[in-house]
Structure 1
Amino acid sequence: MQGEFTPQQALARLLDGSGLTFVFTGEKVVMLRPRGSTVLDAVNVTATPRVSSAKYTAPQVDITRSVAVIPKDILQAQGATSLRDAIRNVPGITINAGEGGGGMPGDNFNIRGFSAANDLFVDGVRDLSGFARESFNLEQVEVLKGPNSGITGRGSTGGTINMVTKVPSLRADRSGAIVLGSADQRRATADVNQPLHVPGIPGAAVRVAAVSSNSGVAGNDVIEYNSWGVAPSLSVGLGTSTQVTLAYTRSEQDNIPSYGVETFNGVPTVDTRHFFGLRSLDFEKVNSNNLALKAAHVFNEHLTLRNQFSSAHSDVGRIVTPVNPTTGARSPKTHAVENDILTNQTNLTSSFETGAVGHDFVAGAEFTRENSLRGAYTIATRPFPTIANLNAPTADADYQSAITRTVTRTVRAQSAALYAFETMKIGSKLELNGGLRWDSYKPEYTDSASKATIASTGNAPVRTTNVSGNAAVNFKPTVGSSLYFSYGTSFNPATENLSNDAVSANSKLPPEKSRSLEVGAKWELFKQRLLTSFALFRTEKTNARTTDPANPGLGTILAGKQKVEGGEVSVTGRITDHWAVLAGYSRMSGKYVESPNPAQTDAPFTNVPAHSLNAWTSYAVTKRLEVGGGGRYVDRRLLRATATSTVYVPAYRTYDAMAKYQLSSTLGLQVNLMNLTDELYYDSGRMWVPAAGRAVSVTTSVKF
């Protein structure tokens, strides 16, 4: 073969007409089989990571929307330990809460200016858990931008975030790491994958990932994050036409978080790296379990059936104490939520030809049952100790009190969806793709005191049915390039995150509707090892919820129109075998186009930084030594605007560096330097909680 091809493309051309097909059973191991003997890929090797969902049949270069995939190799090189660390690699995303959260707790992001708090997924299944997620069991993190209800259901105005977990493979791979660092960081991880040779059971393998982590936050000597987790998984049928995987993840956290300083007076003048809470009162406890059973069967080279059943449970409780920057008064915030979600997804994928037109077709169904116990903690003794000097607070004020956890309401929701997508390939240059999804979503609230379903007020939540869709045209000048135009829609029910007040009239409002236009280009360069992307977009929410001017403070109506538009450019992959890069830039502007409140019309939209930039690169200087580094910049963004004040989250820039030395074939040493300039910055302005200061970590890794 001569030319530039991926391994798959080269093999497909070599074997064309031979009656043989192939499957990768390892990173550089290929198995040949007669074409009639169909198999499932055990390992999917491409120049750039593929999006994991079966709903996307194309590689990244042919997906007609902005996509970012952060693989585990990047997370390891950066010393990342959480989902938030991974998301910092994607421009156009802002974090909506400090550690431990504020308002909507836990991982709470804005994508292209719109909240994505309800748009987090694990292996394609919605995850409602309100806590900061660990990275020890992540294979990669996928961010798909733009309205996405046609793919994932309710929400996804700005996009979705999908966490892909580790699963077994047929290649033995055993590794572990010990991390020691600033702020008393002590972390140990293990990842063991082992093929099993069981008579009568082909393609069996088991994998176990685990973590134990204890750490503070650089710059604050009170905050603590303590966690452990284990994730065993078992697969059978790898490399055959029928494959089954059973995976389980268990994690716990016992933290002392911080809410810092309340925001109503704007950026505080006191040193926010102090701890303003109460060590004897504040806590965050997280208990999370996730069980998934995945099965796939290839009927022939044209037809594949996949099914996934997931059961997730999380229990999150916290008391966190912010301080009033004017009076020094402490005011604890409490939060207690227990979530259960059962989901079953079925996807049928087919590829076929009608004359000169090729078709990739996906159809499926999804059924979900969600149950949420929502409450708070009652603290018996008051008042709380006031801080006399905000520049010298003490966290050790003795505050012993009886604490009672109560459930105030139970929220249940049932949803069902049917969907179908198709990509039509007309010759080698033109592709048309589109799809529709029908969703039915019905929440129900029960008052925990009276045990009565809330309906008598006339404000009971209503069933929402909606059809969402997407369509695109993709022109391919070459195999490794695309020029596309796409359109997509989304819908946001009033009760989408199961947290609305059920006695409020808001609960019975129809859903908000959004739409997006995007034009973009993608190229694979350097023997298809590097993917470059460029996109211009406009996202509009056409009937946003807004305050009713005829009933201020009490009524909400669907009468607003919001718009965010801008452009993005990104580069990811390898320039050479030794030089890797992940970089992106986003330029955005957002505003309220229309509003029944005259003061809001043409006002800027919150959480939309005009500029955001991230870059990470690493270079293998020798076979043993690798160095890397990068930085991030996020422009200031509007937090809140009133008749009397306007508050912005300040702009910031940070820099990181890494050096890794392979002492032997089994032992490696890595040093990471984070926030080299000790920048004081805030991920969020809901509560002024500064991000970690300058820090260093040393990782000793072993393969065995």
Structure 2
Amino acid sequence: MRSLLLAGAAFSVLAPAAAFAQSDDRSDAGPLVAAAAAASAADDVFYVYGTRSSYREDETSSVTRTETPIEEIPQAVTIITRDVIDDQAMTGMGELVRYVPGVTMGQGEGHRDAPVMRGNLSTADFFVDGMRDDLQYLRDLYNVERVDVIKGPSALVFGRGTGGGAINRVSKPADGEEERGLSLTLGSEGQRRLAGDFGTAITPDFGFRLNGVLEDSESFRDEVEIERRGIAPAARFEFGDTRIDVFAEHFADDRTVDRGVPSQGSRPWGGPAETYFGNPDLSASEIRVSTLRGVVSRDLGQGFSFRGALSWGDYDKYYENVYPGGPVDPVANTVRISSYTSQTLRENLLAQADLVWEGRLASVEHTLLIGVEAGRQDSENVRVNSTSAVFSLADRGRTYTPDFTLAPAQDNANSLDLFAVLVQDQIHVTEALTLVAGLRFDQFDLDFTDRRPGQPDFARSDDFLSPRLGIVYEPVEGVSLYGGWSLAHLPQSGEQFNSLNATRASLEPEEFESTEIGLRWQPNDQLLFSAALYRLDRTNTTAPGATPGTTVLTGSQRSEGLELSVQGEIRDGWNIIGAMAFQNAEITSTTSAAPAGREAPLVPDFSASVWNRISVTDRFDVALGVIHQGEQYASISNTVVLPAYTRVDAGVFYALSDRIDLQLNIENLTDTTYWYSAHNDNNISPGSPTAVRLTLAASF
């Protein structure tokens, strides 16, 4: 309750900001006024065929919470723009991270996003417009303007966790621009997807936008189906120097849970890629997400500005799965099949308030940020583990009906109260030299109620400081060098705080410490090359104690790597996005999961990707992409290896008219056999054979 009161207090400063709005002042016509004027001059609109030079962004607020040019950010960040998403017909995070160096996507048991960022897997480090979106589900991209992927500890901005990085979706705003678009995608194996984007300036002070998606698709995997429905209205109100943005979304995802194939020996089972293991009729995931978010921004004058946000989210998720629970026995031709069900209910109420001052102090320019955050997250978790059984490869568990009426292995409710204060200063010492220094204090209080008979309840409280230091030097125009150091913490209750016991309740949080140096080169306004060299140490992971049955905090992991990327327009009509990473992540002192020397899973030593879209004529473009992943372990056991692979993709784009575009995407052009991800040694995802997507997009 205390953090709910703090959340209300943090957001209550929005009311005075709105009250001070000068609604009768039209001397400074805002963007909605300009958009309305542009809409009234429809006769002056011209259509230009061909490519768009928007594979890169010039600035972002995702890393510093202030709008900052990319060249002044002392941390690696990759921004995947809307045009990259559209050109590759991306629908989810798994497709998006292929072009982010140093990031792979775990299988997530076939029902959740699970990125591995610089060797650290996460299911909770997701954000929407800077607000936490941490339930485990598969997110869609229909209503995003872009996606910012920040690498390395990012607790100063986002709080707990974020040890390997954070993924922030930036919503499509109701900015008054005229948007009237529909797209229909039909693809191999029964893919059917319809998306719409409609926006306008209803009055000079009021903009509205509506995005929606409907999908009813099948898969190359036997009996796997996906249904998605999403609607996301947005509105913007302007009153002089005050702007209010409102975003809402209702999203539903129903799908067959697909946990892939088991291993055989030290490699994935090599049978047909479409073969389903388990019972698809009893492997289903249902997720319902409803969110409402309000953001108030105001220019206070004298260099001061204010931003406040309040976010409510209601999440309801249920899934059951019957899946391969062991390797294939090549002698008996059998496989073990396991099963369980799980349900999570969560409600989030989160608030942020930031005061920013830009000005000169002691002859030095500053961008000073003071922020407050508060909130409450209430969750309920129930899990029932059923029995397992051995089946022939001919059956593979397709006839298995497990007993989901057993007593739950997990049945708990928890309440998490959050409070944080942060200070950051971006000091522009000279035109060439910028210093960034920040410190965040977090208070994390969790009450855990175990609802199973006779089980004890627990609580834990954590207070931690998350500093960040950075320096950026621009020796010549278009070149910037940076160095950064940061810390992040994760309480021992974990990312999803769905289990707690006497041991974990007494342990200090895990700690992530990162040192990074980097280079950015912009040979022109349209192209950006980036390089980052980093070392990330994760400590305070649990390890068996000297006394049997005890646990201590001596476990650790180290990740090191070099990341390279290119984004933008090489020349008129040639857009490119590319990524390359050399990585090593290993256990450096024995943990509860593995001895020292083991390599972290889903971290290939080398990975690379590149996508080119080239204009052939004013109406006709072609694209070619290549994705390569080196060998990687399926789990921390280091027993099963996912072989290296190279996949070739292609695209063809044709403007039928000034309002209708036709797009053809071909995935895995050479029909390569590969396995791209895993959840463990026996839940391994095979890649799709050659697949085709045809998209018809119309604007009106």
Bin for the TM-score computed over the shorter chain: 0.7 to 0.9
Matched with 1:600 is 595
Report the equivalent of 1:65.
75
Question: Hey, what does 1:36 align to over in structure 2?
Answer: none
- Counterpart selection for 1:206 from 202, 205, 208: 208
Cα 1:21–1:263 shift into 2, 3 Å: farther
State the partner residue of 1:111: 117
> Secondary structure of the equivalent of 1:133?
coil
CA contact (8 A) 1:501 1:507 kept: no
Amino acid across the alignment from 2:489: F
**2:686 equivalent among 687, 690, 697:** 690
How far the C-alpha of 1:259 sits from its partner, in A, is: 1.6
CA drift at 1:647? 2.4
Pairs within 5 Å for 1:171-250: 171-197=177-203, 202-218=204-220, 220-237=221-238, 240-250=240-250
Please, which of 336, 340, 348 is the counterpart of residue 333 of structure 1? 340
Q: In 2, distance between residues paired with 1:109 and 1:483?
A: 28
1:502 Cα deviation (Å)?
A: 2.2
Per-residue CA shift, 1:189-223, capped at 9, x if unaligned?
000011112xxxx42111000000011222x2311
- Alpha-carbon deviation of 1:312? 1.0
Distance 1:383 1:112 in 2: 35
1:48 equivalent among 50, 57, 69? 57
Asked if 2 retains the 8 angstrom alpha-carbon contact of 1:260 and 1:277, the reply is: no
CA deviation after TM superposition for structure 1 residue 374, in Å:
0.4
1:371 to 351, 375, 378: 378
SS at structure 2 position matched to 1:501: coil
C-alpha distance 548-186 of structure 1, shift in aligned 2 (>3 A): same
Measured after TM superposition, the shift of residue 147 of structure 1 is 1.3
Who is 2:48 aligned against? Answer: none
* Alpha-carbon distance in structure 2 between the residues aligned to 1:46 and 1:300: 34
> 3-state SS of the aligned residue for 1:61?
helix
Deviations 1:152-184 (A, max 9, x none): 111111111111111111221110101111010
**How far apart in 2 are the matches of 1:660 and 1:26?**
34
Hey, what does 2:15 align to over in structure 1? none
Cα distance change of structure 1 residues 512 and 668 upon mapping to structure 2, 3 Å threshold: same
**Amino acid paired to 2:335:** G
Q: Name the structure 2 match of 1:3.
A: none
For 1:658 and 1:503, the matched residues in 2 are separated by 52
Distance 1:255 1:162 in 2: 24
1:126 aligns with 2:132: yes
Residue equivalent to 2:510: 512
1:317 to 2:314 alignment = no
Residues paired across the two proteins, number: 647
Cα displacement (A) at 1:21: 9.0
Mapped partners of 1:65, 1:27: distance in 2: 35
Matching residue within 423, 433, 436 for 1:433: 436
* Equivalent residue letter for 1:669: L
Q: Secondary structure at the match of 1:85?
A: helix
Structure 1 207/508 Cα, relative in aligned 2: closer, same or farther at 3 Å?
same
Contact 1:378–1:403 under 8 Å retained in 2: no
- Contact between 2:508 and 2:540, CA under 8 Å: does it hold in 1? no
Query: 1:37 matched to which residue of 2?
Result: none
In 2, Cα distance between equivalents of 1:641 and 1:100:
19
Letter of the 1:214 counterpart: D
Are the structure 2 counterparts of residues 303 and 47 from structure 1 closer, same or farther at C-alpha, using a change threshold of 3 Å? farther
Q: Deviations over 1:307-360 (max 9, x none)?
A: 110011111111111134233332223221111111001111110012431001
- Name structure 1 gaps, 5 residues minimum: 1-19, 32-44
Distance (whole Å) between structure 2 residues aligned to residue 108 and residue 447 of structure 1:
26
Is structure 2 residue 86 aligned with structure 1 residue 76? yes
Aligned AA for 2:123?
A
- The 8 Å contact of residues 363 and 420 in structure 1, kept in 2 or not, is answered as yes
CA deviations over 1:413-461 (Å, ceiling 9, x no partner): 1110000111111221111111000000011111224598x44xxxx34
User: 1:562 aligns to what?
Assistant: 557
Corresponding residue for residue 16 of structure 2: none
The amino acid of 1:624's aligned partner reads: R
> Taking structure 1 as reference, are residues 21 and 619 closer, same or farther at Cα in structure 2, changes over 3 Å only?
farther
Structure 1 residue 646: deviation in Å? Answer: 2.5
Alignment partner for residue 422 of structure 1, among 418, 422, 425? 425
Q: Which amino acid aligns with 1:372?
A: S
SS of match in other structure, 2:687 = coil
Q: 1:372 to 1:576 in 2, by over 3 A?
A: same
Match of 2:575 in 1: 580
Give the alignment partner of residue 681 of structure 1, picking from 660, 675, 697: 675
Moved more, 21-30 or 273-282: 21-30
The answer on whether the counterparts of 2:122 and 2:495 sit within 8 Å (CA) in structure 1 is: no
Distance 2:145 2:164 in 1: 23
Distance 1:694 1:550, change over 3 A: farther
1:183, 1:221 within 8 Å by CA — same for their partners in 2? Answer: no
Post-superposition Cα deviations, 1:528-577, rounded to whole Å, max 9, x if no partner, equal 111111111111123332233532xx443211232111111111111223
Question: Residue 466 of structure 1: SS of its match in structure 2?
Answer: strand
Q: How far did 1:58 drift?
A: 1.6
> Match of 2:178, as an amino acid?
A
Is 1:620 paired with 2:610?
Answer: no
Partner of 2:205, secondary structure, is: strand
Instruction: Decide whether aligned partners of structure 1 residues 22 and 488 sit closer, same or farther in structure 2, where only a CA change above 3 A counts.
Output: farther
Q: Tell me: CA distance 1:84–1:439, structure 2 relative to 1, closer, same or farther (3 Å).
A: same
Contact kept in structure 2, 1:522 and 1:531, CA below 8 Å? yes
Q: Cα RMSD over matched residues?
A: 2.8
Partners of 1:49 and 1:143 lie apart in 2 by: 15
Q: Which runs of 5+ in 2 are unaligned?
A: 1-26, 39-53
Asked if residue 261 in structure 1 is aligned to residue 261 in structure 2, the reply is yes
What SS does the aligned partner of 2:71 have? helix
Q: Is structure 2 residue 647 aligned with structure 1 residue 654?
A: yes
The one-letter amino acid of 1:674's match is E
Please give the per-residue CA displacement for 1:629-676, whole angstroms capped at 9, x wherever unaligned.
21211211233465xx72223222212111110101111100000122
Provide Cα deviations, 1:384-419, integer angstroms capped at 9, x if missing partner.
7x54234x7584x38597769977110211110000
Is the contact between residue 481 and residue 518 of structure 2 (CA under 8 Å) also seen in structure 1? yes
CA distance, structure 1, for counterparts of residue 579 and residue 440 of structure 2:
31
Which AA in structure 2 matches 1:296? S
TM value normalised by structure 2: 0.87
What is the one-letter code of the residue matched to 2:644? A
Q: Report the Cα distance in structure 2 between the residues aligned to 1:47 and 1:70, rounded to whole angstroms.
A: 7
TM-aligned CA distance change 1:529 to 1:367, over 3 Å: same
- Aligned counterpart for 1:490 among listed residues 488, 491, 515: 488
